[in-house]
Amino acid sequence: MNLNRPLPNILVTGTPGVGKSTISKKLAERTKFAWREVSKLAEEHNCLDEYDAEYQCPFLNEDKLLDIMEGMMAKGGNIVDYHGCEFFPERWFDGVFVIRTNNTTLYDRLSARGYTGKKLEDNIQCEIFETLLEEAQSSYKPEIIMQLQNETPEQLQENIEKIIEWIERWKEQNI
């Protein structure tokens, strides 16, 4: 959806551990787009409410966060990095990239991060059941959703190039 932004807004989403931050950081360095780490923004702007003991993470005050992000999104040129996508306004995004990783690789990455027990299992199941892909498909038009497999350093490089090519095409078509 082009709302006369000079640059596109991109959402990089997927299960924790699939490589969203790694991709977003490299992409931001290459494109000079702003990397918006939603979890960090929520922390910095006091959008985290009381702790959810079952899921071992704080509740996100979504409305407050959206108010804070609205101004940032208006000019385009944002890479939004978050393990959720349904609560953002659809009009914010021109491209939605769902990052995917196979179970064994994801298990190793999340174990290395210190995840254990229910938290580890829930995240692996989230990837197996394609929860984030389904969430993206129910929130955005199919033509703006792209899946990227991200297990190896070679794939990381390819994924960066694919997103940069997508940005260049967007500019040709929209400016």
Catalog residues that contact ligand DAT under the rule CB under 6 A.
14, 16-22, 109, 150-153, 155-156
Copy the structure tokens of residue 171: 């500019």
The answer to the question of whether 113 is labelled as a binding residue is yes
**φ, ψ for residue 77 (rounded to 5)?**
75, 30
What is the smallest separation between the CB atom of 16 and ligand DAT, expressed in angstroms?
Answer: 4
Closest approach, Cβ 170 to ligand DAT, in A, equals 23
- Please tell me whether 19 is known to bind a ligand: yes
Q: How many residues does the chain have?
A: 175
Query: Shortest Cβ distance from residue 18 to ligand DAT (Å)?
Result: 5
Nearer to ligand DAT, 18 or 167 (CB): 18
9 Ramachandran zone, left/alpha/beta (phi>0; psi -120 to 50): beta
117: annotated binding-site residue?
no
Nearer to ligand DAT, 27 or 73 (CB): 27
Burial class of residue 48 in the structure, from the number of CB atoms within 10 Å of its CB (0-12 exposed, 13-18 middle, 19+ buried): middle
**Separation CA 84–CA 14 (nearest Å):** 7
Q: Which is nearer to ligand DAT, 8 or 17 (CB)?
A: 17
Q: Which residues are annotated as a binding site for ATP?
A: 17, 19-22, 113
